[in-house]
């Protein structure tokens, strides 16, 4: 078992002021594989003080110099890709090859793209007789989730450092080990002391101390909508900027002229990514009623083809859910779907065949789901797909938008112009048309209770900047 007994403050690994520890559990075996410090508010005070002291110098560092540091971090991530993937497979449960490509590949891209961006970004512009200047906001508190732990760290830390901000990171207590490797990489590249700091611990202690701290100028939070509301309440007391990337219950509209085989196959994949533990997962599949039976048959065949097993096995497509708490939550929603009268197409409660240990879930598909059911309105965060029939295009749009969330959506259709027209009517921060993926960094974030602000690309960088007008 691995023991991590330090936190990272002011360029050094130091003991926590607290005496508690947090156990890290391998979700495939249910074994404790590591412990990390259970940080306290005093640790946050020290980390924020270090970040505040480092800010004046770092904020004035030339953009080209900041870009060099960011590229060195990317090189460090690449050098330790295999190690990080194995750690993530053990602490998160994502199959090893997927972890290397997604859980490490995306963070690496965050650092390289923002390094390129700041070398050309217009930090100053002339508007009449005024010089409009974009300056770093200050000390940033980054509070990150367990489902894409390294990716969400990079999505916050990379643009914050690029902007000239200093950072205090609280990684998820469920998947903290990759964050420790990340901190080692930042230490190795020689960042000035205090520019990056990390305090492990739980949200109600460390997270709340960061959100409430008067010397933290901004909080960037990714997690549940409930926790995001709490962060906002605490941050409001000092009127600091808050960006939130929260929950989703994202619709996937299959129009009547879509290629049904491609649409349903792609839709299942979009629902089951990371074992369904994805905030932007397309978990509500809206299908023309006349094609529902055919779509069900395709969905069942595709779902049943997803092999579930150890993250270290070559043939595993889905690993376990991240924790016992999450497993019990998802099993509860599956039972609730049955109780509410949804029709179980495949999957269902209990462990998959051949598995008697670990937090595994059967890939599950429900049909004849009404949009007022809990499985259609509440974020499940597991491999559970709800198929909802509709009769008209207008009804499909109404159902899609009838949720408190607005993070992501999908539209499939044979007529590209029609599909785009429908996509424009969806109240979501991003919409994939016919399974398309962005070729360049595009803004990621949500409408409604899916959050405030955007990550990635120039939009993510702008979140960490204040705007000043110099009248000359």
Domains and CATH numbers, the chain: 2-246+450-471 (3.40.605.10), 251-439 (3.40.309.10)
261 in active site: no
E-strand stretches of 27-159: 32-37, 124-127, 130-136, 139-143
Cβ burial of 213 (10 Å; 0-12, 13-18, 19+) is buried
Mean pLDDT of the 305-322 span = 97
Quote the pLDDT of residue 438.
Answer: 84
Residue 113's pLDDT band (cuts 50, 70, 90): very high
Mean pLDDT of the 36-47 span = 98
Q: What is the pLDDT of residues 401-417, one digit of tens each?
A: 999 999 999 999 999 99
Q: What is the pLDDT of residues 58-82, one digit of tens each?
A: 999 999 999 999 999 999 999 999 9
Q: What CA–CA distance (Å, rounded) separates 200 from 172?
A: 8
Question: Buried b / exposed e across 442-451, counting CB within 10 Å, b at 16+?
Answer: ebbbbebbbb
Whole-number Cα distances in Å, 85 to 81, 92, 94, 189: 6, 10, 9, 21
Residue 440's pLDDT band (cuts 50, 70, 90): confident
The one catalytic residue among 173, 208, 245, 296: 245
Please state which of the ranges 243-257, 349-363, 434-448 shows the lowest mean pLDDT.
434-448
Quote the pLDDT of residue 133.
Answer: 97
Of all residues in the chain, the percent with pLDDT exceeding 90 is: 99
| DSSP assignment of 384-395 | EEEEEEESSHHH
Residue 285 host element (H or E)? strand 284-288
Mean pLDDT of the 175-201 span = 98
Structural tokens at position 47: 């980390």
Alpha helices in 170-323 (DSSP H): 177-188, 208-212, 225-236, 260-272, 292-304
279 in active site: yes
Mean pLDDT of the 203-227 span = 97
Q: What is the pLDDT of residues 280-293, one digit of tens each?
A: 999 999 999 999 99
Residue 1's pLDDT band (cuts 50, 70, 90): confident
The one catalytic residue among 91, 178, 279, 296: 279
Of all residues in the chain, the percent with pLDDT exceeding 70 is: 100
Q: What is the pLDDT of residues 317-357, one digit of tens each?
A: 999 999 999 999 999 999 999 999 999 999 999 999 999 99
Q: What is the pLDDT of residues 97-108, one digit of tens each?
A: 999 999 999 999
């Amino acid at each position: 078992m691995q023991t991590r007994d330090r936190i990272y403050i002011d360029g050094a690994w130091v003991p926590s002021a607290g005496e508690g520890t947090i156990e890290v559990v391998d979700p495939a075996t249910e074994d404790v594989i590591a412990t990390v410090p259970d940080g306290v508010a005093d640790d946050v005070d020290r980390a924020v003080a270090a970040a505040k002291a480092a800010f004046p110098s770092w904020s004035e560092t030339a953009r080209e110099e900041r870009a060099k540091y960011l590229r060195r971090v990317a090189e460090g991530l690449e050098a330790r890709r295999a190690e990080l993937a194995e750690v993530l497979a053990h602490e998160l449960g994502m199959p090893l090859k997927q972890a290397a490509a997604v859980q490490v590949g995306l963070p690496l891209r965050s650092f390289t793209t923002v390094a390129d961006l700041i070398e050309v970004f217009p930090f100053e512009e002339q508007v009449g007789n005024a010089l409009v200047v974009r300056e770093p906001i200050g000390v940033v508190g980054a509070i990150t989730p367990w489902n894409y732990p390294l990716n969400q760290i990079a999505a916050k830390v990379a643009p914050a450092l690029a902007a000239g901000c200093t950072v205090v990171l609280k990684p998820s207590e469920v998947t903290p080990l990759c964050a420790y490797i990340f901190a080692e990489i930042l230490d190795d590249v020689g960042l000035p002391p205090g520019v990056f700091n990390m305090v492990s611990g739980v949200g109600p202690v460390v997270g709340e101390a960061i959100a409430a701290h008067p010397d933290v100028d901004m909080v960037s939070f990714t997690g549940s909508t409930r926790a995001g509301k709490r962060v906002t309440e605490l941050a409001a007391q000092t009127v600091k900027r808050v960006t939130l990337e929260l929950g989703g219950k994202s619709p996937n509209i299959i129009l009547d002229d879509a290629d049904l085989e491609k649409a349903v196959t792609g839709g299942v994949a979009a629902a089951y990514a990371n074992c369904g533990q994805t905030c932007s997962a397309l978990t509500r599949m809206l299908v023309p009623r006349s094609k529902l039976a055919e779509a069900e048959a395709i969905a069942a065949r595709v779902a049943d083809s997803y092999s579930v097993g150890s993250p270290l096995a070559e043939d595993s497509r889905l690993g376990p859910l991240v924790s016992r708490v999450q497993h019990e939550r998802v099993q509860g929603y599956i039972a609730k779907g049955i109780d509410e009268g949804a029709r179980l197409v495949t999957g269902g409660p209990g462990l998959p065949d051949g598995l008697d240990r670990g937090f595994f879930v059967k890939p599950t598909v429900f049909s004849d789901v009404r949009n007022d059911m809990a499985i259609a309105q509440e974020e499940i965060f597991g491999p559970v797909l709800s198929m909802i029939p509709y009769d008209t295009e207008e009804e499909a749009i109404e159902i899609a938008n009838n949720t408190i969330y607005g993070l992501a959506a999908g539209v499939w259709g044979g007529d590209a112009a029609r599909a785009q027209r429908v996509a424009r009517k969806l109240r979501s921060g991003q919409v994939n048309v016919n399974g398309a993926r962005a070729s360049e960094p595009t803004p990621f974030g949500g409408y409604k209770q899916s959050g405030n602000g955007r990550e990635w690309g120039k939009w993510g960088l702008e979140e960490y900047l204040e705007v000043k007008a110099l009248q000359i």
